[in-house]
Homo-oligomer: A and B are copies of this chain.
Amino acid sequence: MAKVRMGAQPLIYPMPVFLVGANVAGRPNFLAVAWGGIANGEPPMVSVAVRYQRYTHNGIKQNGTFSVNIPSADLVREVDYCGLVSGAGVDKVTACNFDVFYGKLGNVPLIEQCPVNLECRVVHTLDLDSHSLFVGRIEETHISEDCLTEGKPDVGKIKPLAYVTSPASQYQVLGEVIARAFSCGKGLQVRKQP
């Protein structure tokens, strides 16, 4: 299969969709972020990349805390809005009609309408060229009761969004379950080792 070189491109598929939250000047603000992921297992940590110029960046630096809120598909317009406008100019919480609550850390704003909310305390900050990569220890996880099945998170009820980067620049829902992890590979008919 022929390969084409594209130069240095941030091409990974799929990306998650987070609403990253922090109090800025004492008021809650949220930013849409697709650049981040789990950074450590025990204890659980998550990374988020935030451009220096973003209003939320100030809040994370000041407080040393942030939230990761996982929106469901029915919040897609609010998510996109939180990536388009700056909290320096508008109150996004009011604009999006978000109900904000606070949890264990006290100063980390969380969105009630998002089915999953992580409260994070910054344990490392890598100030890279265009973005700070904030690595946060996940201190508490909240989930909407109606997204549980037998007391456990149910992705079919959470209905998360995936972001597909440019040139598509689109939000997709998750599709068909095609295999079980830590399972389907056991059936691989491995070639004889040389």
* A interface residues (Cβ-Cβ under 8 A, vs B): 1-16, 18, 34-47, 49, 51, 68, 70, 73, 76-85, 90-91, 94-97, 101, 103-104, 112-113, 116-118, 124, 126, 128-131, 133, 135, 137-146, 148, 152-155, 158, 160-164, 167-188, 190-194
What are 19 contact pairs spanning A and B, CB under 8 A?
Answer: A1-B113, A2-B146, A8-B137, A8-B138, A8-B141, A10-B138, A13-B160, A14-B14, A39-B128, A42-B129, A76-B178, A81-B185, A84-B182, A95-B188, A163-B181, A169-B181, A170-B177, A170-B181, A175-B175
- Chain B residues lying within 8 Å of A174, measured Cβ to Cβ, are 14, 162, 164, 172-175
Given contacts A3-B142, A167-B152, A168-B155, contact A10 B41 (CB under 8 A): yes
Verify B183–A2 contact, CB threshold 8 A: no
Residues of B within 8 A of A12 (CB): 16, 18, 36-38, 46, 68, 70, 116, 118
Min CB gap A30→B, angstroms: 12
Chain B positions within 8 Å of A167 at CB level: 152-153
- Tell me if B171 and A177 are in contact (CB < 8 A): yes
Specify which chain B residues have a CB less than 8 angstroms from the CB of A43 in the assembled complex: 8, 129
Contacts of A82 in B (CB 8 A): 185
Rounded to whole Å, the gap between the CB of A87 and the closest CB of chain B is: 12
Contact in complex: B162, A14 (CB < 8 Å): yes
A148 vs B140: C-alpha distance when bound (angstroms): 42
Are A9's CB and B90's CB within 8 A? no
